[in-house]
Chains A and B, each alone.
Chain A
Amino acid sequence: MSIPLYGFLEGDTLGVLVLAEEGETVQELARRLQDAASIRVARNDEIDFVYNGEAIEPGLTVAQAGLQALDRFDVTGKR
C-alpha cells in the first residue's frame, strides 16, 4: 500500500509529496525524492535519510523505519 509522505531534500526550496511503498528501502525512497527535485537540486550520491531527527540505515524498508502517512522525512548530505 502506498504511504503519502512529505519529503524535504537539502538544498531544495519546497517540500513535495512522495508516495512511498512499505517494502521499498529508505535509500530507494531518497533517490526518488532526489529525482523529483532534480530540476532544482543537483544530484548528491552521499546522502542520509533522516526521520525524526535521526539518520536511518539505508537498507531498512519504509515499514521497518516506522514511517507513517503524512510524516516528514529529510534527505541530506552525508553528515
Chain B
Amino acid sequence: MLNREEWLPLARKLDWDYSYVREDEVFPELISGHPWLPHSEWKEWEESFKTSYREYVDNQYEKDMAVYAVRDAVGRLENIQKLAAPWINSLKVHAAALPLAEFTGVIGSLRGARFGRDSAWRTMSTFGALDEYRHTQIPLLLFHQLVRWDAQFDWAHKFYHTNNWFAVASRHFFDELTLGQNAIEFAIGTNFVLETGFTNLQFVGLASLARESSDHMFERMVTSIQTDEARHAQIGHPVLTVLMKHDPDYVQYLLDKWFWRSWRLFSILTGLSTDYLTALDQRPYSFKEFMEEWIIDQFLRTLDEFGLKKPWYWDIVEDELDIYHHMIYASAYTYRATLWFDFVIPSPAERKWLRQKYPKYWDDMDAVWEQVIERWRTTGPGAANELAVHATAMPAFCALCQLPLSAGTPRKNTANVLVREGRKYIFCSQPCRWIFLREPERYANHKDLVKRVLAGEAPAQLPNLLTEYFRLTPETWGKDVYNGAYDWLAAQKASTT
C-alpha cells in the first residue's frame, strides 16, 4: 500500500494526452478562460494545501461536529435572545447575504472542477465546491430556528430571490463573479481577490466581533467557514503564477476590477457591523483599523509578491475607508423600510468614538445624524412614527455596482453620467465607470432600479415598491431598533424643556 506522500501525486495529477478530440475542445476558452494555453503550460500547477478525499471528509466531519456542539451548548433561541439588539441585526445582514452567495460559489467551483486546466486544480476545486455547499447549509441550518422568533431571519432563504435593492446589487456581483464565470476569472476574482483578499480575513474579523459580542455560535460558524476558505483560496495563487508569465496586463485588469467590486460590497457588510451594529464597548477596532491591519497591508504584500501593481484607483479606496460605509449607513437608516433588518442611531458616545476614529469627514456625517435626531425629537418616539422619520424620494443607484449613489463625501458626491450609444448611465464613482467601459457589452443592458421604475417594470410608489417588488411586509421591513426611544434622546429633551 502506498503511503500518503506517494499516493497524493498519483491521485491529484491525472492528466493525459487526448487522442480523439483536441485539447481546446475539451477546455474551450469561453468556459476555461483566457489566455488559452496548452496543458504543458499548466502541468507544474501545485497547490500549497494538499489533501486527499479521505482526509478532507475526516476534517470536515470534525469541524461539523464542533459547530453542532457549540450550537447545542450556546446556540439555542434563548441564547440568541440575550444578545444585544443591534448585534442581532448584524446577524440578519449576514444571514441573508452569506448562505446563497456561498451557493453560487458551489457553481463557480464546479466550473473549476470541470474546466480548470490541470487535474490538481480540478481536484482542489471539487473540494472547494464541497466547502461552499457546507457554507450554504450551516448558516441556513443555524438561522432557521430563529425564524419562528423573528421573521426577518427568513431572509436567509428569501433575500436572493427578491428584487430588494441590496439583493439586486449582490446578485449583480455574484452572478458575474461566480455563477457565470469561466474557470480562470473565477480563480482570480473569487479565489485570489475575494477569498484571499477579503473573506478569509474578514471572517477572522467577524469571529472577533462575534466573540466580543458574546455570540459564540456565530463565532464558531465563521471560524469553521474561514478554515475552508483559507484552503481553497490557495487555488488562486498557482493560477496567477501561470497567467503572469503569459498575460500580466490581463491579470492586472482582473485584479483591479475584482478588488473594486469586492470592496464595494464588503465595505458595506463589514463596515456597518463593525462601526454601528456592534455595541461600543464591544468594538475591538474601527472598520478602518480592521481594513488597514487585516486586508490592505496583507493584500499589498501579496501584490508585491506577484509583481502586480496597486490598482490605479488606490487613493480612492484609501479615501473611502474614511467615509463610504458611513454614507451608506446614514442613507440606509433613512430608507430602513427598504431593507430586512433594523437600524440604530449612533449615541452621543458612539458619535464621539466615530469622530475620533474618522476625523477626516465626521463633521459632515455628524450634521446628518443631528438632522435625523431632530426629526425624532419633533415626532416623538414610537412605532407609529417610524415612517415619519423616513425618506420618501426614490433613491438613485449606480449602473455598475447597483448600490446607492453614496460615493464621495456629503460635500462632493462623485456620481457621474455617461452617454453611450444614445443611452445614459450614472455611476457612483470613477472605478465603477471604468469597469463598465472596459466591458460595456456585459453591463449595458442591465437595468438598475430607477430604470426599472421608469420602464414601468417596478412600482414607482415607495409602499408598493416595498411590498410588491422588494417582498417586504410591515412586519419584516426595517425599523429603528428602539423606534426612536433612546435614553440619551429623552435625557436631551428633558434638559432642554
Contact = CB atoms under 8 A, between A and B. Distances in A.
Contacts of A14: 327, 331, 395-396, 404-406, 413
Interface in A44-76: 69-72, 74
Nearest to A4: B454
Contacts of A6: 396, 405, 415, 417, 426
Interface in B387-408: 389-396, 404-406
B417 A13 contact: no
A interface SS class: loop
Size range of the chain A interface in the assembly: 20 to 34
Nearest to A15: B405
Contacts of A70: 417, 424, 426
Nearest to A18: B393
B151 interface: no
Interface in B364-397: 364-365, 367-368, 371-372, 374-375, 389-396
Contacts, number: 94
Nearest to A10: B411
Contacts of B326: 13
A36 B367 contact: no
Contacts of A37: 391, 393
Interface in A1-55: 4, 6, 8, 10-18, 36-42
Nearest to B368: A40
B327 to A, nearest CB: 4
A12 B391 contact: no
Contact of A13 (B327, B374, B392, B424): B327
**Which of B331, B365, B393, B410 has the most CB atoms of chain A within a 10 A radius of its CB?**
B393
Interface string B399-442: 00000111000110101110000001010000000000000000
Given A11-B411, A39-B334, A39-B371, 16 more contacts: A6-B405, A12-B368, A13-B327, A14-B331, A14-B404, A15-B406, A16-B395, A17-B394, A17-B395, A17-B453, A36-B392, A40-B331, A40-B368, A42-B367, A69-B424, A71-B424
Interface of B: 326-328, 330-331, 334, 364-365, 367-368, 371-372, 374-375, 389-396, 404-406, 410-411, 413, 415-417, 424, 426, 450, 453-454
9 contacts: A13-B368, A14-B405, A14-B413, A16-B395, A37-B391, A37-B393, A40-B331, A40-B368, A40-B372
